[in-house]
Structure 1
Amino acid sequence: MVPLYQRKYQWDDNDLTPFWEDVSAKASEVLEGASKFEHYMGALILAPVDSGAKYAFTPTVQVVDGQQRLTTFQLFLAALREVARHHGQHDFIDHINGYLTNVPQSKDTDPLTRFKLTPTPIDRDLFHDIIDLTAKEADKKYASLFHGRRIPKNRPQKAYRAYHLFRQWIEDFVQHGPQDFEGGSDEPEDAEDHIDEGITPEDVSARLEALLSALLDRLKLVVITLGESDDAQVIFETLNSKGKPLLAMDLVRNNIFHRAEKQKAKVETLYKKLWDPLDHPWWREPAPNARPTRPRLDHFLAHMLAAETGQKISIRELYAEYRDFAVPKGRPRFENVEDELKLLEKYAPVYRTLEGKEDCDPSLKWLGRKLTTWQVTTVYPVALQMGQEDLPPEEREQLAQLIYSYLVRRTLCNLTTKNLNKVFQSIAAEFLENGVSVASFKGYFSKKAGVSSRFPTDRDVRYGILNENAYAISPRPRLTDILWELELASRSKLAEQSDQPPNLWVEHVMPRSWGNDWPYEDGTIGHHADGDEYAIARNAILHTLGNLTLLTGGLNISSGNKGFDEKKAKFAEHTGLFLNKWFTGKTRWTENEIRERGERFADLAVSRWVGLDGS
């Protein structure tokens, strides 16, 4: 029972997203048979309502602290049950019900004892409807919460948004399996209206079981049960005091220097020489573009461990991961602590270069800028390996270009970027086994023909540029970067070089809301209905790269949906970009002209973003 004085359910997207990341990460480990560590979720304080045992009554306790987490667990289980129902996993539904409801005892008179959890009255009816009704029934009853097919973030009934988001996230996990991703949308796509025919009932069952096992077995709570004489308020305030949280690296540091003392090392000398630089405030700032949100120092350590081991490193259990690395099975990896600290000293300048704070190598600095633009940090373990002193500069530069090409080519081909963690973890393992080199990089991809990881060919890139929806590329800085690189590739060697302007917008040349100002290829104007073959063909090419360009913000707004002649005049008057000089000699802009420009972009792309054959 949640006491009356407790708040209503408060968890929003900022709380739900990391919770889902924790659960899905553990479920992925369960599926891979690689779950090494449990994850601590905080404390739960319980106060028995009646300390005396009563036969044939359901025992009741009050939740003094931890009701938000406990409620979230229950909402997740209810959502997991509904996804199981969607896939016809009836045995699984019965199993989950045992964690949501009790079997009433013979002397129970309170109907609420049927539920494992009873929230405060303000949340109670909604929460128990989630437990009692099917998803379809509940969505119908609470239809007023929806806007379209989603529940907006600003709805006060946060428990129902959590339930809805969990159903979508779980469905996506079941459909596609464990996938690592960066820079994704906060809003998952609706997945409940279709089932991927490529998955088997066995896949569905295994993935549902993995999620359940992650929640019940791999996420841990410390449970504090109060006695009659304990002051619940004092304990609550003590546990929820606003002390400065320890970083994983604080624990690592303590572990390292504790072992240094045992080795009779000069601890203060080692600290000042090798650790003190890592105490700079910059290292404690949140790492940009990295998930989950953690200080740079924690992410640096995780990337370093991945670079050294070639294994998947869980940043959520970073201290345990480091301890397992430094002293595997109780046997120290390093002869002395000084060698251990020198490893951190070796990688720190490379990481700072990738983050734009140092310049230990021009190729790594350039790669770091590109990774920042693309909001991708999963490459960092491989980039740290590339920072080794014995790697020739030309080899490092070629590897940096290949990594960038891989990211761009997959994006242009509309191939998933959700598995980049696994890809670059595997490349790090390949480099450990065969050395850091272009040959090892190419050798890795020569064994990877699957759609989730392969390196796209020139033919793939050409097809993607001419046919795929480039405007959907997200986050938007990625598309801007692609178009800017095509702008640079369009310039002659004699053209004046300039830096990328800070206020560029991506603009459709032929607008999305095209009308009579935009004739068809056959010259007809407005003679075709929206759904006929001409309109369908036009809409299919409208978002391809050949119909996109870069403009400054003001020019973008003033161009709007004007006809081609007016747009062309604007381009000529206000922009010096080579991308827009293309339109100077054009008298019209139809599907044919879009394809022609797309073909030109394809020629530039396969040259700018090199393939594995070096072309």
Structure 2
Amino acid sequence: MGLTMDANTYSLKQILTQDRRYIIPTFQRDYEWTLEGQWKLLFDDLAETADRLFQARQQAAINGEPLAKADKKVPPHFLGAIVCDQLAAAVGGLDLRAVIDGQQRLTTVQLILRGVLDVLIEHASPRARQVRRLLENHPDIVDSPEEQHKLWPRRKDREVWPLAMGDMLPDEGTHLYLQARRYFSERTREAVHNAEPERLDVLVDALLDLFKLVVIDLEDNDDAQVIFEVLNGRQTPLSAADLVKNLLFLRGELCDEKELEKVYDTYWAPFDEQWWKTEVGRGHAQRGRRDVLLSGWLTAVSRSEASVSHLYSQVRGYLDGADRKTVDVLAELHDFGRAYRVVVGAEPAESAALRRSYQRIDALGITTATPLLMWLRTLPSDYISVVSHASVARAVESWVVRRLLVGANTRGYGKVFVDVLKAADQAPADDALLIDAVLRVLHGVDGMLWPDDDELVKAFVTRKFYGNLTQERIRLALGSIDQHLQESNPKTEPATFQYEKLQIEHVMPRQWRQHWPLESADDAGRLFEAQRRDEALNRIGNLTLVTPTFNGAVSNAGWAEKRPAFAEQSKLQINGLIAMQNAWTVETIEARGRALAKVACEVWPRPLP
């Protein structure tokens, strides 16, 4: 996909000399870099780079070459990438950047600069002023003490950061910021102890000019999530939900909203549990549940279909145009989260009918209906009753399943369900009027009609199901029909099955030629009969469900041998009439298709417009 962004490689001097604040969102993870993990390796790289620079300059002096030419021969050391998002700032105020990714790296850069500055001050070096400019903004444009610092850490660490950056480093303190500064100061002293005076200058030049970062500044039309998928080599890359969390709480901080930690614990903390991070969906459509939730919430509140792949930029755009407090947005998200858990079956619905519709829509993977279903659950109980809620869900289920069974196009479902949501939202606070509004939209979608009973019967008699529908969807259709028969047949004791675990069986096998002789006497008749059988094989009238006890050895056998195996499967209502047939022909398949269609029309009723 096309993506515009500003991504360039800069020296630390180019990046940090500008008057700018880099703000770490409050609820990013802890600072985790350590001596053995990263600090030692980083300073070793600095020392080696400085040695190469020193040697190149010495050789240039011997050869009578200018130092600038020698410096260009020394390869730079690349520290990696940081990703920043520009934040709104007051006119004339300091430029603000949220550090979306790379906070560990950028924080450590500040700490190594501070360690080097300690030694420059001890040596009364004139370079101290230059290095300090990479740590502090010019005092003439600073309005508050925290604006002095180029980097401003997350809220949890803001008390210790001024100590870690100040000229008077406390002797005590175990925070990693303080440990890192002490370590970098000591390593700098060791690097220049008893060495040539210019060694310290060379170290500073290597750090400021040869240590480089790839800096990615997101623009308004950039999607941070796409960038992370391209750039991140980490085992746990940030999700869209992580980015949105940072965005929400950072906006809250900049607006000076209070008790954000309490807000976090109350509304967001549950989303950091593993269940919410688990990916759902298939293939390229796999996303964490938090991302799916955010997409559904944004679709519902913006009344416009959101894309899971572009959540960060879309949420940012929505918040830019909405005058909403962080606590209000998070409380709403929390409500949608509880609704989502019920819609996907993680928590029980209020009625069996509602639970069944949720389960079938979810099993079909119709995620475009999720925003509508979640939004309905966030409505006050005096706005829509449980019975009416179930009626809306059943209407959505019927519209989706009937279109699926007749082979209708699924494109544009997202817009349809947004239109349904809008109509329901605009309906008066009356159950009957709300249901009427939903049905009116589902009946009136141009080019996406709600198939009637005749169309359903035609599909069941003539359409190829096996091969055109996934086995999961065929299993859901046949299982739903059987479940309805179980519940509505008063003559038999109903049996319960885990339909999703049953096997799909062709009554007349696909390899029928060996054991299912043709009845026509002449070649032309047999050819025509064979063609009709091949066409009928994968229609739903020839498909059924069987339990693991079904004798698979007779699957390709003739009808006389196969028929008793179906008799043993008679607890499944859809198999009851199969074993009663003396022969299994194309005509039998068509008749069974009509019978199944009749039940399907009851399972998924289509209310009159």
TM > 0.5: yes
- Compute the displacement of 1:446 (Å): 3.0
* Shift in Å, 1:515: 2.2
CA shift digits 1:374-395 (9 cap, x unpaired): 2222210111122123221111
Seen in structure 2, the aligned counterparts of structure 1 residues 242 and 258 have a Cα distance that, compared at 3 Å, is closer
Superposed CA offset, 1:549-592 (max 9, x none): 11124526323211111111111135522222202332111112
- Output the CA distance in 2 between the equivalents of 1:475 and 1:401: 22
2:504 aligns to what?
Answer: 506
Assess, with a 3 A threshold, how the Cα gap between structure 1 residues 230 and 264 changes in structure 2: closer, same or farther. closer
Task: Give the distance between the partners of 2:459 and 2:466, measured in 1 at CA.
Answer: 12
Question: 388, 394, 399: which one pairs with 1:395?
Answer: 388
Give matches, 1:583-602, under 5 Å: 583-602=578-597
TM-superposed deviation, 1:524: 3.1
Which has the larger displacement, 265-274 or 284-293? 284-293
Q: 1:366 — aligned with what?
A: 356
Q: Does 2:493 match 1:496?
A: yes
**Identity, % of aligned positions:** 25
Asked whether the 8 Å contact 1:465–1:544 carries over to 2, the reply is: yes
Q: Please report how far the alpha carbon of residue 360 of structure 1 lies from its aligned counterpart in structure 2 after TM superposition.
A: 5.0
The reply to whether residue 346 of structure 1 matches residue 343 of structure 2 is no
> 2:369 matched to which residue of 1?
379
Residue 550, structure 1, aligned to residue 542, structure 2: no
Structure 2 residue 290 is the aligned partner of structure 1 residue 297: yes
Alpha-carbon shift at residue 469 of structure 1 (Å): 0.6
SS at match of 2:546: strand
Q: Which moved more, 1:357-366 or 1:595-604?
A: 357-366
SS in 2 for 1:499: coil
TM-score (norm 1): 0.57
- Counterpart-to-counterpart distance in 1, 2:214 and 2:416: 49
Match of 1:319 among 312, 315, 327: 312
AA at the equivalent of 1:366: R
Query: How far 1:346 moved relative to its partner?
Result: 1.6
Listed one character per residue, the Cα deviations across residues 441-471 of structure 1 (whole Å, up to 9, x for unaligned) are 2111332241xx2111111101101110111
CA distance, structure 1, for counterparts of residue 328 and residue 212 of structure 2: 48
Q: 2 CA distance for matches of 1:581 and 1:381?
A: 40
Query: How far apart are residue 525 of structure 1 and its match?
Result: 6.7
Instruction: Give the residue type in structure 1 aligned to 2:503.
Output: W
In the alignment of these two chains, the number of paired residues is 386
Aligned residue number for residue 450 of structure 2 = 455
Q: Which runs of 5+ in 2 are unaligned?
A: 11-77, 79-208, 216-230
- In the alignment, structure 1 segments of 5+ residues that lack a partner are 1-22, 27-37, 47-64, 66-228
1:430 equivalent to 2:423? Answer: yes
Kept in 1: contact 2:460–2:596 (CA 8 A): yes
For residue 327 of structure 1, give the secondary structure of its aligned residue in structure 2: helix
**Equivalence for 1:79:** none
- TM-score, normalised to structure 2, is 0.58
Q: Quote the residue 1:129 is aligned against.
A: none
Q: Is the 8 A contact 2:508 2:584 kept in 1?
A: yes
Q: Does 1:524 align with 2:514?
A: no
Does structure 1 conserve the Cα–Cα contact (< 8 Å) formed by 2:495 and 2:571?
no
Cα distance, 1:270–1:525 mapped onto 2, change above 3 Å: farther
Residues 166-185 of structure 1: pairs in structure 2 closer than 5 A: none
Query: Which one-letter code corresponds to 2:317 in the other structure?
Result: D
Give the superposed CA RMSD.
Answer: 3.2
In the alignment, which residue of structure 2 is the partner of 1:464?
459
Q: 1:576 to 1:411 in 2, by over 3 A?
A: same
Change (3 A) 1:327 1:231: closer
Shift, 1:316, TM fit: 2.1
Distance 2:299 2:402 in 1: 25
Indicate how the Cα distance of structure 1 residues 231 and 274 shifts in structure 2: closer, same or farther if over 3 A, else same: closer
Paired with 2:589 and 2:533, the residues of 1 have a C-alpha distance of: 10
**Aligned residue number for residue 242 of structure 1:** 234
SS class of match (2:504): strand
Please identify the structure whose Cα radius of gyration is greater.
2
**How far did 1:526 drift?**
8.5
> Is the contact made by 2:551 and 2:565 (CA closer than 8 Å) also made in structure 1?
no
Matched with 2:178 is none
8 Å contact from structure 1 (residues 350, 360) kept in 2: no
Cα distance in structure 2, aligned partners of 1:558 and 1:297:
46
User: 2:497 is paired with a residue of what secondary structure?
Assistant: coil
The separation in 1 between residues aligned to 2:9 and 2:552, in whole angstroms, is 56
Conserved? CA contact 2:297–2:336, under 8 Å: yes
The one-letter code matched in structure 2 to 1:292 is: A
Among 412, 415, 418, the alignment partner of 2:408 is: 415
The alpha-carbon deviation at position 250 of structure 1 amounts to 2.1
2:481 and 2:600 in contact (8 A); partners too: yes
Q: Which amino acid aligns with 2:315?
A: Y
Output aligned runs, 1:114-193, within 5 Å.
none
Output the amino acid matched with 1:381: P
Q: Post-superposition shift, 1:284?
A: 1.3
CA-CA distance at 1:397 after TM superposition: 0.9
- Of 563, 588, 606, 1:611 maps to 606
Instruction: Quote how far apart the aligned CAs of 1:251 are.
Output: 2.3
**Corresponding residue of 1:215:** none
* Secondary structure class of the residue paired with 2:279: coil
* Offset of residue 517 of structure 1: 3.7
Cα distance, 1:272 vs. partner?
A: 1.7
Change beyond 3 A, Cα 1:403–1:241: closer
Q: Tell me the equivalent position of 2:436.
A: 439
